[in-house]
Amino acid sequence: MKRDERAVKIEEFIREYIARNGGVDVTDALFHDEFTEKFGGRQTFKNYGAMPNPLAMRWVKRLYEQGILERGIISLYAHEQGFPNWVYVYSLRTPNIACT
């Protein structure tokens, strides 16, 4: 079965972005702006500056569920109204290398 070309391009974009920037999360304005420009979707206004694209985060979560990305939690100390206390941050999965 041939993979959807758009899906391949989205996956490549996410992998390349994370490789360049070390990770991605819902507050990463540059990621959401670039994703929206390339692949569409609607950005959601948030009081904390970033305008996340739910479509982008669905793709990031999908790659996490496929084992391509790792997920961790980071605490955020800016406690302005509407700002989350923590977010998931996604990074490229590092391969397990057995030491012999």
Q: Give the tens place of pLDDT for each residue, 30-70.
A: 999 999 999 999 998 877 667 899 999 999 999 999 999 99
Label residue 94 by pLDDT band (50, 70, 90): confident
What is the pTM for the complete model shown? 0.84
pLDDT of residue 1: 40
- Tell how far CA 94 is from the center of its chain: 16
Q: What is the DSSP string of 14-80?
A: HHHHHHHHS-EETT-HHHHHHHHHHH---PPP-TTS----HHHHHHHHHHHHTTSEEEEEEE-----
Beta strands 86-92 and 69-75 are antiparallel
pLDDT at 50: 78
| Confidence (pLDDT) at 11 | 96
Q: Would you kindly state where each structural domain of the chain is located, as residue ranges?
A: 5-92
CA distance 94 to 77: 28
